[in-house]
Amino acid sequence: MRVQIDFYSYFKDLTGCARAFAALPPGSTIADLLRHLYVRFPKLAPMQRATLIAVGVEYQKPDYMLQDGDEVALFPPVQGG
Amino acid sequence: MRVQIDFYSYFKDLTGCARAFAALPPGSTIADLLRHLYVRFPKLAPMQRATLIAVGVEYQKPDYMLQDGDEVALFPPVQGG
Amino acid sequence: MKRELVLTTSRIDEATLLEQRTMSRGMGAVVCFVGVVRVDEAGQAIAALEYETFQPMAQHQFARLFDELEKRWPVESVRLVHRLGVVPVNEPSLWVEIIAPHRGEAFAACQFLIDEMKRVVPIWKKPVAYTSLTTPQ
Amino acid sequence: MKRELVLTTSRIDEATLLEQRTMSRGMGAVVCFVGVVRVDEAGQAIAALEYETFQPMAQHQFARLFDELEKRWPVESVRLVHRLGVVPVNEPSLWVEIIAPHRGEAFAACQFLIDEMKRVVPIWKKPVAYTSLTTPQ
């Protein structure tokens, strides 16, 4: 299956892109996706504890099971106001 | 000595006047003044526990020693806003 | 700390107060409170509230509260307008604005000022009923 | 509960927002918060902040917060404007207004909304430095 990953704020600078795609085995979770991304974008790895993850417009946890076509967003803590 | 007493809010209705004067022996306290006023204006007496007392523009306690010419204000709890 | 205190029988003009706002470049937070006369006072429909004050004492007590505010928080500006006399339902009786570097201190200072005002500043209100000639809205 | 949410790159026009305020006769409290870009961000003098959002998610998360607000307090109206893009120092980036029957609930709801926004709504800011061509004011 294939998921889309959007990066926001300085995560775009760390990855060098705003959007990426990943092909993952069926049944993969967000944790699996992160392992994949940390290899591909090593500068993201140190941010792990300060990374927020959404699928669509909802926050999700690492054990969330991804579906084909999911749009995942990865970003640092929010700072509105 | 002689002090001036101003009443505010519904205390004016209870006393029937906005201002009164009292002649008191030297060394009288606010407590002494109140005893005098509760005889003169008996409808004030039941309000005793909800009465605020100022001399000039400062709140004072019953043991405050009055001076000749003091301007005392008596009023119910304040309700600005 | 800039201080403005207005006790007035005129209508509170929020638009003009907004226009007159100034804040320095180090300030990050404005908290504004508007107290408005509600139609129901203690379960009874009213037409207005009538506010009375003992003005010299009110001014003195507000000055003391402003002093206290300045001691507690790094507030750059406090402006407070309290209307007196008859204030019809749905019109503001109180307008308060606090300007401070950060949100937390602006909210704290604004709430402190209103809480303390309601404890020590000699202002009283009494309901003004609808007369028999007036149809309650 | 009336809800208005605006995410915009335009300047926040407080005067117009004030003009558009409506409140019913049972409401007694308006709390308004304005967040303004400060000249010093983390000890460094800046020229502006640049705000970025993930807009569909921001709108969804604001809607969830408005739902929560409505559950917790008898708020009649919530209006929130967040500016995006480059916001110069001394200009508002955030404007929030809460209208409720009483002061306590209006303050609580306003502070809750801002606190939660800063926790869950995907908006980020980055400092915009003075360039060598600009003289810091």
Q: What is the pLDDT of residues A19-58, one digit of tens each?
A: 999 999 999 999 999 999 999 999 999 999 999 999 999 9
The amino acid at residue B36 is H
C81 contact B CB<8A: no
Q: Quick one: closest CA in D to C20, which residue?
A: D15
Q: Is B8 in contact with C35 (Cβ distance < 8 A)?
A: no
Q: What is the pLDDT of residue C43?
A: 79
Is the pLDDT at D28 greater than 70? The verdict is: yes
Read off the pLDDT of residues B19-35 as tens digits, 9 standing for 90 and up: 999 999 999 999 999 99
Q: What is the pLDDT of residue C135?
A: 52
Q: What is the pLDDT of residue C132?
A: 42
Q: What is the pLDDT of residue C131?
A: 74
The amino acid at residue D59 is Q
Closest CA to C81 of C27, C1, C14, C29: C14
D82 contact A CB<8A: yes
Q: What is the pLDDT of residue D132?
A: 43
Over residues D31-51, mean pLDDT: 92
Q: Is C34 in contact with D38 (Cβ distance < 8 A)?
A: no
Residue D66 gets the label, from left (phi > 0), alpha (psi -120 to 50) or beta, of alpha
Over residues B61-81, mean pLDDT: 97
Q: What is the pLDDT of residue A78?
A: 97
Q: What is the pLDDT of residue D29?
A: 98
Is the pLDDT at D134 greater than 80? The verdict is: no
Over residues D20-44, mean pLDDT: 94
Closest CA to D8 of D123, D90, D126: D123
- Does residue D40 contact residue D89 with C-beta atoms inside 8 Å? no
| Pairing, β C40-41 against β A2-7 | unpaired
**What residues in A contact D119, CB-CB < 8 Å?**
78
**What residues in B contact C114, CB-CB < 8 Å?**
81
Over residues B25-46, mean pLDDT: 98
Q: What is the pLDDT of residue C44?
A: 83
Is the pLDDT at C133 greater than 50? The verdict is: no
Read off the pLDDT of residues C31-80 as tens digits, 9 standing for 90 and up: 999 999 999 867 789 999 999 999 999 999 999 999 999 999 999 999 99
**What residues in D contact C35, CB-CB < 8 Å?**
28-29, 103
CATH of domain B2-75: 3.10.20.30
Q: What is the pLDDT of residue D117?
A: 98
CA dist., res. B63 & res. B59, Å (int): 12
Q: What is the pLDDT of residue D130?
A: 79
Average pLDDT of chain A is 97
Joined tokens for residue D15 = 């005067």
| Interface predicted TM-score of the whole assembly (ipTM), two decimals | 0.94
Q: How close is the nearest chain B Cα to the Cα of C111, in Å?
A: 12
Q: What is the pLDDT of residue D46?
A: 94
| H or E element in which residue C67 lies | helix C55-72
Is the pLDDT at C136 greater than 70? The verdict is: no
Q: What is the pLDDT of residue D133?
A: 44
Over residues C2-29, mean pLDDT: 98
The topology under which CATH files domain D2-128 is Aldehyde Oxidoreductase; domain 3 (3.90.1170)
D42 contact A CB<8A: no
Read off the pLDDT of residues D59-92 as tens digits, 9 standing for 90 and up: 999 999 999 999 999 999 999 999 999 999 999 9
